Amino acid sequence: MARFFGTYEHSLDSKGRVILPSRFRAPFEHGGFLTQYRDGCLALWTPDGFEQQMEEMQQRAASGKNDRNMARFWASATQDLEVDRQGRMVLPARMREYAGLTGDVVIVGVIDRVELWDPARWEEKVAPEEQRLTEGADD
């Protein structure tokens, strides 16, 4: 299974494409799946990782109305995509809007997926954790 880590900054081009960092590209040579994800970011899954997510969503959908609705939304807000020879991938307009991506994009490896963030949202998310690390917090 592919594992991802690191933080990279790229920009959207005029066609809504962003470059996937070269160290992340190999697992996506046969495509991937882009989803609207928690906290207002986009998640990029390898085919294998996406299959695992679909199984989890299917199990959750059987547990109640709210989880069924979440599974419906998640599946309907998913897009398969390809990474071209230059490492670019097209981010659909509705997904860019959801994540607030208008110019610069922070691309983060998050172990089992790649996340795409608006830089301000990303900074807001990581600032508390950076502070805890700086202070040496144990909990």
The length of the chain is 139
Task: From residue 98, give the alpha-carbon distance in Å to each of 31, 42, 55, 65, 91.
Answer: 22, 8, 24, 24, 11
Enter the pTM of the model. 0.90
Contacts of 10 (CB under 8 A, 6+ apart): 18, 19, 21, 104, 105, 107
State how many domains the chain has. Answer: 1
| Separation between Cα atoms, residue 70 and residue 81, nearest integer Å | 22
The pLDDT tens digits along the chain (139 residues) read 899 999 999 999 999 999 999 999 999 999 999 999 999 999 999 999 999 999 998 888 888 888 888 888 888 999 999 999 999 999 999 999 999 999 999 999 999 999 999 999 999 999 888 888 888 766 6
Beta carbons of 16 and 90 less than 8 angstroms apart = yes
Q: Is the separation of the CB atoms in 119 and 9 below 8 Å?
A: yes
Domain, as residue range, for 131: 4-135
